[in-house]
């Protein structure tokens, strides 16, 4: 979008054109994290913090072969789990969060990843970004906006927000972007 010709227009007037151009530039946009079910997507998204999707996709085949569901993951040996995910960085915290999330899914949600934003936010290692990824991709529910580094940068650059806080950026985008 030519910012010089449209920067004086309010974001509300530009958002339709921005979305149209994003769709044209990226017609096959999809979640890059390989997954077969909501649990795998949840774990992969937790692993993606401070890590590339490419790296996560290298780690998850062995991880999910060894621990294919919440029950298996909840009972994992922490050392084995850490070894499997070490290359994603922050592996100790990620291991604790993944095991904690799996345990909570077992005890509170009958072994199924909850399809509810508030419930997802109760899982260890899950904040709004992860919950929005799971809600949108696993359950096809557009309850929010995934605000990662790229969305943050572009939203500011396009004048859709002036905030640098993900929660505020998400709120600003929810007000602008049709669900």
pLDDT of residue 7: 59
What backbone phi and psi angles, to 5 degrees, belong to 173? -70, -35
Average pLDDT over residues 37-56: 97
pLDDT of residue 178: 87
pLDDT at 12 over 80: yes
Chain mean position to CA 126: 9
More confident residue, 74 or 4: 74
- Under DSSP, the state recorded for 15 is H
Q: Are 83 and 77 in contact (CB under 8 A)?
A: no
Q: Are 2 and 167 in contact (CB under 8 A)?
A: no
Query: Among candidates 119, 122, 147, which has minimal Cα distance to 132?
Result: 147
Q: Which of the residues are catalytic?
A: 129, 148
pLDDT of residue 2: 46
Angle at 98 between CA 93 and CA 100, to 5 degrees: 95
Give the pLDDT band of residue 86 (cuts 50, 70, 90).
very high
- For 47-81, the pLDDT digits (tens) are 999 999 999 999 999 999 999 999 999 999 999 99
Average pLDDT over residues 167-175: 96
């Amino acid at each position: 979008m030519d910012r010089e010709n449209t920067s004086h227009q309010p974001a509300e007037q530009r958002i339709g054109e921005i979305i149209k151009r994003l769709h044209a530039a990226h017609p096959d946009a999809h979640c890059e994290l390989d997954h077969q079910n909501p649990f795998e997507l949840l774990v992969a998204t937790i692993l993606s913090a401070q890590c590339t999707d490419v790296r996560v996709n290298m780690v998850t085949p062995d991880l999910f072969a060894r621990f294919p569901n919440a029950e298996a993951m909840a009972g994992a040996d922490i050392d084995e789990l850490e070894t499997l995910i070490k290359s994603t960085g922050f592996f100790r915290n990620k291991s604790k969060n993944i095991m904690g999330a799996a345990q909570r899914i077992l005890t509170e949600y009958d072994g199924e990843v909850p399809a509810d934003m508030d419930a997802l936010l109760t899982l260890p290692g899950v904040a709004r970004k992860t919950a929005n990824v799971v809600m949108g991709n696993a359950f096809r529910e557009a309850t929010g906006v995934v605000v990662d580094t790229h969305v943050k940068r572009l939203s500011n650059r396009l004048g859709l927000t002036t905030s640098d806080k993900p929660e505020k950026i998400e709120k600003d985008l929810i007000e602008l972007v049709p669900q």
